[in-house]
Amino acid sequence: MSPAYAHGRRRVSDDQNATTSHQQSLIPDDLQISERLLIRLALTGVAFVSALVVIAGFLGQFHRAADSIAILRPLFGPVCLLGFWAARSPIPKAAFGALGLFALWTVAATFLPQAPGGHIRIYAKNLWAGNTEIQAVVDDIHDAGVDVVMLQEVSEHNDRVLDLLRGEFPHQHLCRFSAWSGIALASRHPFTAAPQCSSWRAVLAAPIDLNGEHVWVASIHIPWPWPEGMPESESAADEILSSLDGPVVMAGDFNIVPWSGRISRLAELTDTRLAGPAHITFNLRGLPLVLDMAMAPYGGHAEVRPLLGSDHAGIVADLAIWHRDSGGY
């Protein structure tokens, strides 16, 4: 390559670089700032919509639809934190940050472990009406070493589970709401009065003699709150649970997440709190949900059990009925 040719190529390259630099310099600074501003505005808008979803999920005490929205809180809560970064004014920054952190805390708190209660041990499971692995469920119940069994979706197809449990849990009752939707209790301890069935599918409650102490145990299966749920079921559950005299232990398929308004309302009605940690027990089209849980006056420790032919995992909970310093059983 001749020196003249090489020199010519360098000049062409230098001219191209100069042209590119000149073109870039023609982009106004305010246009580049506008692009950054648009990104911030877009992120703030996304955070704002997410904040509306999160806030709506806290309104379950006022409308059942809010409880259905509450299942989205773990997804939309973190998105609110985008607003903390994107907003320029300190007040929106603080609002987005506080809401996002509070939403995440209300979810995370349900997954905190608790100490075993030591007063009563329960097994709860939505069997699924078409379950064919009944013997596996019975074996799991025997292995768990529990005092009371609380079952949901006890159907004409799987109700032989009660016969298989009768030897170890002779005190039993079944509320049959339809061919597929029975709610059952099976207890080692005797019932001290007639069990109560809710007027709509929701609750079976019975008082038991727990080593000389009067305790109510309740098996729960309340429908999904909205749009498929029936307000009559929630009202029927409230009616029974609010009338129980004495400490209450309840567990089952609540068909809603533990940070919902429904759970807060039931906890207030029965003077109970959730056992922990919460466990994923159901998969809704790829969305893992905590729907099955246990509640007692002083909470307790919960663990998850296998599916065993159901679409719901079971739970075993070691619950606290009395305060540790109260001297109760």
Where is pLDDT greater, at 38 or 261?
261
Question: And the tokens for 150?
Answer: 């609380």
What pLDDT shows up at residue 271?
A: 97
| Cβ count within 10 A of residue 246 | 10
Where is pLDDT greater, at 28 or 271?
271
pLDDT tens-digit readout, 202-248: 999 999 999 999 999 999 999 998 877 678 999 999 999 999 999 99
Does residue 170 have a cis peptide bond before it, meaning omega lies within 30 degrees of 0? Answer: no
What pLDDT shows up at residue 225?
A: 87
Half-sphere exposure of 237 (CA within 13 A, CB side): 29
- CA angle, 233 then 239 then 240, to 5°: 95
What pLDDT shows up at residue 32?
A: 57
Burial class (CB in 10 A: 0-12, 13-18, 19+), 269: middle
pTM: 0.86
Sign of the four-CA dihedral 59, 65, 68, 69:
negative
Percent of the chain with pLDDT over 90: 77
What pLDDT shows up at residue 295?
A: 98
- CA 41 – CA 144 distance, rounded (Å): 55
- CA 75 – CA 228 distance, rounded (Å): 22
Where is pLDDT greater, at 83 or 151?
151
State mean pLDDT over 91-117.
Answer: 95
Domains of the chain: 8-109 (no CATH), 114-319 (3.60.10.10)
**Cβ atoms 212, 189 nearer than 8 A:** no
Percent of the chain with pLDDT over 70: 88
| Cβ count within 10 A of residue 208 | 24
pLDDT at 15 > cutoff 80: no
The end-to-end CA distance of the chain, in Å, is 100
pLDDT tens-digit readout, 108-164: 999 999 999 999 999 999 999 999 999 999 999 999 999 999 999 999 999 999 999
pLDDT-derived band of residue 320, with 50, 70 and 90 as boundaries? very high
